[in-house]
Each structure stands twice: as C-alpha cells, then as structure tokens.
C-alpha cells in the first residue's frame, strides 16, 4: 500500500485519510488484486503488461503509472472497497460524511485534468459524481469526529514541500482547483494563498501576474504570512512594470529574512 504525498496534501482531516486507507484495505480483504491478476494471466495482455513493467517506459514515474494501471480495479470492486472503507470509518468513530466530501473535491480536480499529461492523482481510482453521491446518501452522520487539528499539526512541517511539488507538476488547472479549496481552510489559508501566487506567476498567462499580486497580498494579510510572499510579490509587480512597489516588497522581504540565500540577487534588483 503506497500513500502518495499528493493525497496527504488533499485530505483535510484524519477522517478522510482513514476512509482512503480503509478503502485500500478493502481491496486486500476482498482479494481484488489477486482476482485482477488471475484475469490478466488468462489473456495475452499479460505479456505486454510485463514488458511495460520491465522498463518499456522511461523513468520511475512512468513505470509506477503503468504498474498502477495494471492493477486498476473494476467499478464493482471500487464500490465494494468504498463500502468497506465507509464501514471502517464508522467503526472508528469518524464522521462518515467526510468520505463524500473528499470524493467531491477530487472530482472537481478530475474534471479539469489535462488528459494528455502522464501524471494524475487518482489515475487508477477515477473519481466520479456517482461515487460521491452514493457515499453521501449512505452517510449516517452519527459521529462528528473529524480530527482536523491534529492532522494539520502533524502535516505542517512537510506541507510547504508538498505544495512546492504540486506547483512543480505544472498541472496548473488541477492545482488551481486544489489551492482555491485549501485557501478556504483556516489551517492553510496563508500558505495556500502564497502558493496560489507562485502558481499564477509561474504559469504566466494573460492576467496571471495580476492574480499573483492579489494572492501574495492575501497571504501577507493572513495569519503567520510566509516571508517568501514579499519576495514573490516583488517579482510579480516587476513583471507588471510597478518597480516602486516591487522594491518596497523586496525591502520588506530582506528585513524579515536578513539571511536569505537569494539576498545578493534581490539587492541587485533593488540597485
């Protein structure tokens, strides 16, 4: 069972993470992987599958993607795993409504995904409005435990790394949907606003530098603003030709981060 950091970045609390883990355990309990493998063995496709796994695609990411596709499950198997995960969620006292909320969020990303790009968050577990609605209908709401505060505290030391990785994927449409959702969460508002600015600045489409400026300023106005927001604000303002405000943002950045690794570069901009 592999847990990707892209998942940890997207779940909002322990309840949602518990559902995903329960779902995957459900595949094991129901022996879905074994059934899938036996079905593949009985066809000529297994030779092609093994060739792919043996290095037919370049790079580890491509090989893992092929491996995941090989063990993609049928719709019925996915439904069965959903039911197992939902029941385990209830057994542990978590709010079972959080499962539908997670699938709803993933579905919003899935709708804008560029199908020509290799990487995807839930390639072997396609989100669907049907699954979201079914989980919502089956939820009892008997428990209210979400455990969001301890989850965010545990993830905080790594979130900036994951957010930087998310922007680096260059799946900007998906990242935009994700960041808009995260900006609505009190635990992630300032950091997510900053990375929204980074995403817009790197994407650099029409209107993106204006969007970046607004996002950086929202991060600065939030609680515990990341010091890099002033750096990013200066870079975006510079692209818009607003040199005076850009320099003011950079001076604030160097005041707040006197030992910044890029201090010499920023000072060259100021000169």
Task: Return left, alpha or beta for 59; rule: phi > 0 is left, psi -120 to 50 is alpha, else beta.
Answer: left
- Per-residue pLDDT band at 59 (split at 50, 70, 90): very low
3-state secondary structure of 145: strand
The pLDDT, as a whole number, for residue 36 is: 75
The pLDDT, as a whole number, for residue 201 is: 97
> What's the rounded Cα separation, in Å, for the pair 225 and 222?
6
Of the ranges 6-20, 44-58, 80-94, 116-130, which one carries the lowest mean pLDDT score?
Answer: 44-58
Burial of 94 (0-12, 13-18, 19+ CB in 10 A): buried
pLDDT of residue 61 exceeding 80, the answer is: no
In this structure, the number of other CB atoms found within 10 A of the CB of residue 91 comes to 10
242 φ/ψ angles, rounded to the nearest 5 degrees: -95, 75
Q: The pTM is what? A: 0.81
Residues with Cβ within 8 Å of residue 155, at least 6 apart in sequence: 8
pLDDT of residue 180 exceeding 80, the answer is: yes
Quick one: what percent of the chain has pLDDT higher than 90?
Answer: 62
pLDDT of residue 50 exceeding 80, the answer is: no
3-state secondary structure of 221: helix
Task: Return left, alpha or beta for 76; rule: phi > 0 is left, psi -120 to 50 is alpha, else beta.
Answer: alpha
The pair of three-digit structure tokens given for residue 24, joined into one six-digit string: 């995957």
- Widest CA span in the chain: 70
């Amino acid at each position: 069972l592999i847990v990707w950091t892209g998942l940890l970045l997207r779940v909002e609390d322990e309840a949602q993470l518990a559902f995903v883990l329960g779902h995957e355990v459900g595949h094991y309990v129901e022996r879905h992987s074994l059934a899938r493998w036996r079905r593949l063995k009985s066809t000529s496709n297994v030779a092609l599958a093994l060739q792919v796994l043996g290095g037919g695609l370049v790079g580890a990411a491509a090989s893992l993607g092929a491996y995941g596709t090989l063990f993609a499950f049928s719709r019925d198997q996915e439904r069965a795993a959903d039911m197992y995960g939902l029941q385990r969620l209830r057994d542990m006292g978590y709010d079972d409504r959080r499962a539908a909320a997670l699938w709803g969020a993933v579905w919003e990303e899935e709708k804008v995904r560029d199908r020509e790009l290799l990487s995807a968050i839930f390639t072997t577990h396609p989100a669907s409005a049907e699954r979201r609605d079914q989980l919502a209908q089956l939820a009892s709401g008997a428990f209210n435990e979400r455990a969001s505060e301890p989850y965010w505290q545990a993830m905080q030391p790594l979130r900036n790394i994951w957010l930087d990785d998310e922007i680096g994927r260059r799946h900007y449409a998906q990242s935009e949907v994700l960041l808009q959702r995260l900006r609505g969460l009190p635990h992630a508002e300032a950091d997510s606003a900053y990375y929204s600015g980074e995403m817009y600045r790197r994407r650099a489409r029409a209107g993106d530098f204006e969007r970046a400026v607004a996002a950086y300023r929202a991060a600065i106005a939030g609680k515990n603003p990341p010091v890099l927001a002033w750096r990013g604000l200066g870079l975006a303002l510079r692209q818009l030709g607003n040199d005076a405000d850009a320099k003011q943002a950079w001076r604030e950045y160097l005041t707040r981060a006197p030992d910044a690794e890029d201090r010499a570069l920023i000072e060259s901009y100021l000169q």
